[in-house]
Structure 1
Amino acid sequence: MPVQGPRFGVNYTPSQGWFHHWLDFDLDSVRRDLDAIADLGLDHVRVFPLWPVFQPNRSLIRPRAVEQLVALAEAAGERGLDVNVDGLQGHLSSFDFLPSWTQTWHRRNIFTDPEVVAGQTAYLSTLAAALDSLPNFIGMTIGNEINQFSGPPHPDPDPLTPAQAAAWLRTVLAACEDAAPGRQHLHAAYDAAWYLDGHPFTPAHAANLGAMTAVHSWVFNGTAQRHGRTGTATEHHAAYLIELSKAWAGDPHRPVWLQEVGAPAPLIPAEHAADFTEVTVANALDCEDVWGITWWCSHDVSRDLADFPELEYSLGLLTTEGKVKPAGEAIRGIVGERRGEPHRPPAPRTTAVAVDVGDDETAPDRSVCAPGGAFYEAFVRLTADGVRPAAVLASRADDAAHLAARGITEVVRPDQVR
């Protein structure tokens, strides 16, 4: 569907059975969920197959599971919803879902073992090809925060180098493109890519590989703990990540997708979730080149399911019974207002803070961008003063053409911000 301005969507968490619904797929239940999502005025959903359910053996990609995924996407299209599909799940809400052919007696690195990578490309290609005929198919996301498998704090990581990470990303993205040419295929990382020194998945990967940059904004990463529920850093964290990503982008107007953002309790108490939602979305939309905002998540996790971190049970815009929660009403109001007026892109951010992470490609000192880091705190102080800062690599601070392309007229160092 053609949509003017940023897209608004939701990460689809089934109301019945959570993502285990693939084991007992009920299209009527899915349709009810999608009806409730469409009623919020949203235009897309992000969907999560479970990798071991869809590919239980390296040479078996279950045709029935693929058919069910296509049926879900078709049902979404009937309700005016476009669909992005994450392939390698991978990791969801603190649980890992890896197929048995990569674990225990068959333990091998999911990023570097040639047979595993061949299995992944076959699987991603199969999904992309099956969805390619659907007009509402946006494209594939390689996996949900799959970078968390690559190092600490994961208890059993699959280590690799930044060069190996780049090679793996290019391989799996190319498989999607070959199977569904011209779609918007991308990859997504949790914020270790931006904040954690030594992490093999880097800002340069996020901002240059794939059709657009994805950022996932969660204020439980130290932001809300340090700055409080209504602190500038907390209310602008999503916007901060959007702007931070632009520092590494070779294309000065590369699209950025705020692919995950939510209001996690107790740092954001339930009675304040709607306010947090409104201010977070407003601040994100004050950034240029935002492709879309996709809230986490559609439905709460049922209390009948055990062992989730407490915050995961209450992140939905809707209850498990489909009742719209205050944050859902806030999203519905935002979407209604935006759809009813012409799209007006935000003004360029003319003042940029220079970010120096040691080496632009591997970012060995990227912790300066994390909560408490010198760059992060300088950016927040300027934001609190109403400056609307951008981010630029220190290596580009004197690149007149790059600065002009982004509308930047002034560059300051973090130590110049008081």
Structure 2
Amino acid sequence: MRFGVNYTPRVGWFHHWTDFDADEVARDFDAIGGLGADHVRVFPLWPVFQPNPTTVSAAALRALDRVIELAGERGLDVAVDGLQGHLSSFDFLPSWLVSWHRRNMFVDEDAISATARYLETLARAVAAHPNTFAFTVGNEVNQFTGTVHPDPHPATSGQITTWLDRMLGAIRAGAPGLLALHACYDASWYDETQPFTLEHVARQGDLSVVHSWVFNGTAQRFGPDAFETRAHARYMVELARAFQTDPGRGIWAQELGAPRNVLPDASVPDFIDGTVEQLAQAPDLFGLTWWCSHDVSRALGDFPELEYDLGLIDEHGRIKPEGVRVREAVEAARKAAPADASGAPVIDLDPAADGGRAALAPGGAFWTSYMDQARRGRHPRIRLAENPVHAHDAVPVQEGSAADA
């Protein structure tokens, strides 16, 4: 199991690309090394790197090159995101997608072509570094299609399939040796109106990617110390696995954290321990990447309050108690005997019959059936109706279904 952090620069946050200081990045990576991390996930800001549809900034690419070099000098591998996109409640779309130049980023052919060119250029640049291992299309770009977004870019699921094919194809053209991925927030699991689906999560790209946040209603509904709250990330992993058609496909828990808006300080240590332990026992878990490396500086305004305290390292560069706790939890998980996947209980899922994605959401019928089983001692495997991977599954099936819950 790989362990890393999502890199949030201590000085300037992601605005550091416009006022780049390699010495500050080096200090950040020295501190990250103290967490026992083996990789970082870095976030080029899209409008900085592609200010015009036909232009990629050479200066920004040089800064990214230096970030990857500095990571490598400290034994850190690097995963790069392309489209930022959306980060910590702020949107970063280039000017050629907004206002007078407004185009639908998922549907307009000019926008799609420009975005694909950018991703291919960026992928080719980062692939030149031996410590780069993965390239993600972007950070939770599915939030732009959601009905909750104030300025959405609507698309159908079919259009999203085509868009992802183009974006992943561009990454592979630029960097055929890297893992090519895409990442969604949990609306793809739980919201029936979301055009990015679990089929997209589990079948496009080289790994299935999970972003797990318990402020989605889980901790509010069940409480900060509940089994369900600590099991949420593992549950999302198991749902993603159920929809996979490649039985050997890995799953990356690419974002999870301990948000203080739903977890009081006293609940954080056990949340970390329980979440990491359950994730580490998931078969085929590729890695775990914590959000995030550093707290957002109080000098920066207008962030949701929880963002100022999500880091494992404080804004002065000191590892926090939760940073120590995550490091120790990962160390313990790596030493533990791997889980035996054989003989695990099985729970059937037929999305059409069982209530769709609403049944999968916290408190839904399928969620309840799953958590009842998991609480009895082992996380069940989920057997998806009509998935050929599960057609000859010989593991005994639990009686009943989500519809009976």
**Distance of aligned partners of 1:183 and 1:398 in 2 relative to their CA distance in 1, 3 Å threshold:** closer
Question: Alignment partner for residue 106 of structure 1, among 84, 101, 109?
Answer: 101
Residues 351 and 412, structure 1, Cα contact 8 Å, conserved in 2: no
Correspondence for 1:372? 363
Task: State the Cα distance separating 1:201 from its structure 2 match.
Answer: 0.4
Distance in 2 of aligned mates of 1:289 and 1:354: 20
Question: Corresponding residue for 1:295?
Answer: 290
Q: Deviations over 1:55-75 (max 9, x none)?
A: 111111101101111110111
Confirm or deny that 1:64 pairs with 2:59.
Answer: yes
What SS does the aligned partner of 2:386 have? Answer: helix
Match of residue 353 from structure 1: 347
Distance 2:227 2:163 in 1: 37
* Separation in 1, partners of 2:388, 2:227: 25
Correspondence for 1:410: 397
**Preserved CA contact (<8 Å) 2:187 2:194:** yes
2-structure distance, mates of 1:174, 1:413: 42
How far the C-alpha of 1:347 sits from its partner, in A, is 3.0
1:174 partner SS: helix
Match of 2:232 among 232, 237, 261: 237
* Residue of 67, 76, 79 corresponding to 2:74: 79
Provide the rounded CA distance (Å) in 2 between the counterparts of 1:97 and 1:413. Answer: 46
**Alpha-carbon offset, residue 334 of structure 1:** 2.8
Aligned match of 2:83: 88
- SS of equivalent to 1:138: strand
Contact 2:245 2:387 (C-alpha < 8 Å) held by counterparts = no
Aligned in 2, Cα 1:304/1:288: closer, same or farther, shift over 3 Å? same
Q: Quick check: 1:228 aligned with 2:205? A: no
- Structure 1 pair 412–241 and aligned structure 2 pair: CA distance change class (3 A): farther
User: 1:244-293 CA deviation, whole Å, 9 max, x = no partner?
Assistant: 11110001231000000000113111233222111100011111000000
Partners of 1:84 and 1:99 in 2: CA distance: 22
Aligned counterpart, 2:36: 41
- The 1-side partners of 2:332 and 2:373 are apart by 29
Partner SS for 1:236: helix
Code of the aligned partner of 2:397: E
Unaligned 5+ residue runs, structure 1?
A: 1-5
- Structure 1 segment 5-404 matched on structure 2, within 5 A: 6-338=1-333, 341=335, 344-348=338-342, 350-358=344-352, 365-396=356-387, 399-401=390-392, 403-404=393-394
Q: Please give the per-residue CA displacement for 1:212-249, whole angstroms capped at 9, x wherever unaligned.
A: 00000000111001111111110100000000111100
Tell me how far apart the structure 2 counterparts of residues 396 and 412 of structure 1 sit (CA, whole Å).
19
What are the ranges of 5 or more consecutive residues in structure 2 without an aligned counterpart? none
Task: Confirm or deny: 8 A CA contact 1:7 1:292 kept in the other structure.
Answer: yes
- Deviations 1:150-176, CA, capped at 9 Å, x for gaps: 121101111111010011001100110
SS in 2 for 1:16: coil
- What is the distance in 2 between the residues matched to 1:28 and 1:348? 49
Deviation at 1:190, TM superposition (A): 0.4
Between 245-254 and 344-353, report the one with greater CA deviation.
344-353
SS at match of 2:287: strand
Q: Stretches of 4+ moved more than 4 A in 1?
A: 396-400, 415-418
TM-score by length of 1: 0.93
Q: Distance in 1 between matches of 2:160 and 2:403?
A: 35
In structure 2, distance between residues paired with 1:72 and 1:78 = 10
Q: Distance in 2 between matches of 1:287 and 1:62?
A: 41
CA distance in 1, matches of 2:65, 2:343: 41
Give the C-alpha shift of residue 352 in structure 1: 1.9
Distance 1:349 1:287, change over 3 A: farther
Change (3 A) 1:413 1:179: farther
Query: What SS is found at the alignment partner of 1:76?
Result: helix
**CA–CA separation in structure 2 for the residues paired with 1:416 and 1:98:** 42
* Distance (whole Å) between structure 1 residues aligned to residue 250 and residue 221 of structure 2: 30
CA distance in 2, matches of 1:237, 1:344: 20
* 8 Å CA contact 1:349, 1:388 repeated in 2: no
Q: d(CA) in 2 for partners of 1:11 and 1:96?
A: 18
Residue 350 (structure 1) shift: 2.1
Letter in 1 for 2:79: N
Distance 1:416 1:61, change over 3 A: closer
- Relative to structure 1, is the Cα distance of residues 94 and 349 closer, same or farther in structure 2, using a 3 angstrom cutoff? farther
Task: Give the C-alpha shift of residue 183 in structure 1.
Answer: 1.2
Structure-2 separation of matches of 1:364 and 1:151: 20
Q: CA separation in 2, counterparts of 1:336 and 1:192?
A: 31
Determine if contact 1:265/1:314 at 8 Å carries over to the other structure. Answer: yes
Aligned residues: 405
TM-score when normalising by structure 2: 0.96
Give the 3 Å change call, closer, same or farther, for CA 348–264 of structure 1 in structure 2: farther
Letter in 2 for 1:186: L
Give the Cα separation in 1 of the matches to 2:171 and 2:274: 35
- Quote the offset at 1:397 in angstroms: 9.4
Report the Cα distance in structure 2 between the residues aligned to 1:176 and 1:398, rounded to whole angstroms: 28
The 1:412/1:34 distance shift into structure 2, 3 A limit, reads farther
Structure-2 separation of matches of 1:219 and 1:155: 23
Give yes or no for contact 1:188–1:214 (8 Å, CA) kept in 2.
yes
